[in-house]
Amino acid sequence: MNPKIWLSSPHMGGTELNYIHEAFDTNWVAPLGPNVDNFEKSIVSFLQADVHAAALSSGTAALHLALILAGVEAGDEVICQSMTFSASANPIAYLGATPVFVDSEADTWNMSPQWLEQAIQDRIAKGKKPKAIIPVHLYGMPAKMDEIEAIANKYGIIIIEDAAEALGSHINGRMCGTYGMMSALSFNGNKIITTSGGGALVAHSKELAQKATFLATQARDAAPHYEHSHIGYNYRMSNICAGIGCGQMEVLAKRIEQRRAVYTRYYNKLKNIAGISFVDEPAGCFSNRWLTTILIDTEKPNSITRETLRLAFNEDNIESRPLWKPMHMQPVFASAPFYGDGTAERLFRDGLCLPSGSNLTDTDFDRIFAVIDKVFK
Ligand SMILES: Cc1ncc(COP(=O)(O)O)c(C=O)c1O
């Protein structure tokens, strides 16, 4: 059996172990320490904005804390992009709030501003104004943030930006991860850079970032004994994981170039095959191309579907994956309200994520392209 080609696997830069050795040498083997501080600083400097970061154990933890800091409580409603990974929506449920799912638009596959506004108006008409909006930059492609922000401002609803997949993406130079009141980043093993598992909450307000750190370290009030006036969480990033992150930040710019080169390679290979399409960058948008994704038109004559290609890859031990199944189609969210026209459903039906790691070799591409040639011969 050929070795496995993964969808998106960790790619170390080489200096990560130096930071970890230093942590061991100085005995900073704890969920705090110099690597955590430096990792937070380098995130902020990368984002090139007046923001503050709290390094956490995951992107999911960042979204959970962001919702808490936004004042979301049991019984509230939070609008969330339907076409996303479940971690965008789960923290809404952790709080006993209800997710209200909004469909995608066809240009970026992200939250449709039109359906967002319809959803807000309908929820208000039904007696409840949503507490927050969670747009997502799926696969690194920036959502239509200017339009989403304008709608959010019009109705006085805050934005919590899920930038888990979009570190390095930007819109007219403004980085994903700096939109909204707070943003979530993920450094999970499959992301463009990783801390093995980890995330960060980014906020424009220093006070909010500090509150996130406070809640993430068990909400310990200032006292010699353990004193608590809030429910706390154990969500802080460890100094060891942050050491990996410090090393990874050194190669982030290179990883973005590499992911984009992966996209170009696929694009050149597949652009002339009838029925295959890619998602283009809208004017002013720059995607980190975290994952390269394609649509295979099921209505064209040759009867090849995204499943035909996925199964052919699978035969050769190559991992690919259908686009994320929309949340409004998930059994666990079956009772949640949804506003849309079936765009996300069509994307799920026709879409496939291709192996996109920055560490794919020429030999890997030979195997991947051989499967493509076989399927589309
Ligand atoms: C869109 C999106 N949101 C949130 C998350 C959650 O991040 P984490 O895995 O770090 O908890 C992920 C990734 O897993 C994601 O892809």
Q: How far is CA 303 from CA 95, 306, 309, 349, 373, in A?
A: 44, 10, 11, 14, 16
Q: Where does a domain end: 211, 229, 251? A: 251
Tell me, using a 6 A CB cutoff, whether residue 110 lines ligand 1: no
CA of 279 to the centre of ligand 1 (A): 21
CA 180 to chain centre: 15
Cβ–ligand 1 distance for 358 under 6 Å, the answer: no
The one-character DSSP state at 136 is B
State whether 42 and 163 are in the same domain. Answer: yes
Residues 38 and 181 in one domain: yes
Per the structure, the complete domain to which residue 332 belongs is given by: 253-375
pLDDT less than 50: residues of the chain: none
- Distance between CA 175 and CA 163 in Å, rounded? 10
Q: How would DSSP label each residue in 8-39?
A: S-----S-HHHHHHHHHHTT--SS-SHHHHHH
Is the domain of 153 the same as that of 60? yes
Atom of ligand 1 nearest to the CA of 199: 10
At residue 206, the pLDDT reads: 98
Does 180 lie in the same domain as 124? Answer: yes
Number of domains in the chain: 2
Indicate whether residue 165 lines ligand 1 (CB < 6 A).
yes
pLDDT at 298: 81
Q: Is residue 7 part of a domain?
A: no
Co-location of 21 and 48 in the same domain: yes
User: Could you give the count of Cα atoms lying within 13 Å of 55 in the half-sphere of its Cβ?
Assistant: 30
Nearest CA to ligand 1 atom 9: 188
- 263 and 354 in one domain? yes
- Looking at 230, 251, 272, the residue that finishes a domain is 251
Residue-level pLDDT at 3: 97
On the CB side of 106, CA atoms within 13 Å amount to: 7
Radius of gyration for the alpha carbons in the chain, expressed in angstroms and rounded: 21
pLDDT at residue number 301 = 65
* Statement to judge: residues 219 and 184 lie in one domain: yes
Residues constituting the chain: 377
Last residue of a domain, one of 224, 251, 278: 251
Q: Note the pLDDT tens digit of each residue in 27-73.
A: 999 889 999 999 999 999 999 999 999 999 999 999 999 999 999 99
Amino acid at 295: L
* Residue 6: inside a domain: no
311 and 200 co-located in one domain? no
119-145 pLDDT, tens digit per residue, is 999 999 999 999 999 999 999 999 999
Cβ of 161 less than 6 Å from ligand 1: no
Structure tokens at 55: 């390094």
Residue of 8, 43, 60, 321 with the most ligand 1 atoms within 8 Å of its CB, for mutation:
60
Q: What's the CATH number where 352 sits?
A: 3.90.1150.10
Which of ligand 1's atoms lies nearest the C-alpha of 63? 4
CA 48 to ligand 1 centroid distance, Å:
22
109 with 207, same domain: the answer is: yes
Domain containing residue 182: CATH number: 3.40.640.10
Ligand 1 neighbour 139 (Cβ under 6 A): no
What does the DSSP assignment read for 62-121?
Answer: HHHHHHHHTT--TT-EEEEESSS-GGGTHHHHHTT-EEEEE-B-TTTSSB-HHHHHHHHH
Q: Which residue's CA is the closest to the ligand 1 atom numbered 8?
A: 59
Same domain flag for 296 and 244: no
